[in-house]
Amino acid sequence: MKILVFKNPEESADHISREILAALRHKPNLVLGLATGSTPIGVYTRLIHAHQNHGADFSGCATFNLDEYLDLPEDHEHSYRHFMNQHFFSGINLDPSNIHFPPSRGKQLAKQCLDYENKIKARGGIDIQILGIGSNGHIGFNEPTSSLMSRTRIKTLTEKTLRDNSRFYRTLEVQPQMASTVGIGTILEARKILLQAFGRKKVDAVHAAVEGPISAFWPGSALQLHPHVSFCLDAASASKLSLLDYYKRVRENELRLQS
């Protein structure tokens, strides 16, 4: 695992957007796994800038989002599709037919979830998966006790996740209690995983994911099984890591070897 501690979230976003743009130059039909939430916005802003000012071309790309609330209309201001349109898709040249979300409504949700898995496979799998992590350790909406082998399915959100996300809702609005999410098994099949976490409220989740035992109670810890995962952190989210100095020395040595 690569544990990268950046001065601030902006430096992390610089790093990840550079990785994505390099991969895109190498593979114009790149398949991206995308996340919502406040954490990845800096990456999306930089990719939009690269498209609008430096010709980065997303026309051959496909995207698969991690999760979506159940029973919200697609254009609802709290749907993740709306979030992605607002923060990313409206600023780049993706073909709308290459944008994918797990199911949010309709009948036969289990079948729709299976179809989503099959669409990912049909596109050749995910090249780069962008991830955040919840303060309870969830990745996607794989809440604590999610099977480490899980696939795309419907999950009930924990009280903690509902509390963390309540800032987006006006008091009288009904907050969705359920969502579809790709599984931990699905995430682990991505070729490369780039997880970002910022701020003190992520400190326990980061500690458990990086240094804890692998446990379904801390879903982020499943990433220890992945051969190409980077944890892109700021000082606050990394502050509980016991080998922090070691991770910094590893990084310095890697940079020295590269230069």
What residue ranges bind ligand PGA (CB under 6 A)? 37-39, 132-134
CB 96 within 8 A of CB 59: no
Distance between CA atoms of residues 180 and 211, nearest Å:
28
Query: 19: number of CA atoms within 13 Å, CB side?
Result: 19
Amino acid at 251: R
136 included as an active-site residue:
yes
Which of the residues 51, 68, 127, 138 is marked catalytic?
138
79 Cβ contact partners less than 8 Å away, ≥ 6 residues apart: 68, 69, 72, 73, 104
Residue nearest to ligand PGA (CB): 37
67 included as an active-site residue:
yes
Q: How far is the CB of 134 from ligand PGA (least distance, A)?
A: 4
77 included as an active-site residue:
no
Collapsing DSSP to helix, strand or coil, 193 comes out as strand
Which of the residues 68, 117, 127, 143 is marked catalytic?
143
Which of the residues 136, 142, 207, 226 is marked catalytic?
136
Q: How far is the CB of 13 from ligand PGA (least distance, A)?
A: 12
Q: How far is the CB of 164 from ligand PGA (least distance, A)?
A: 7
By CB atoms closer than 10 A (0-12, 13-18, 19+), residue 242 is exposed
Residue (59 or 166) nearer to ligand PGA, CB? 166
Residue (47 or 56) nearer to ligand PGA, CB? 47
Catalytic residues: 67, 136, 138, 143
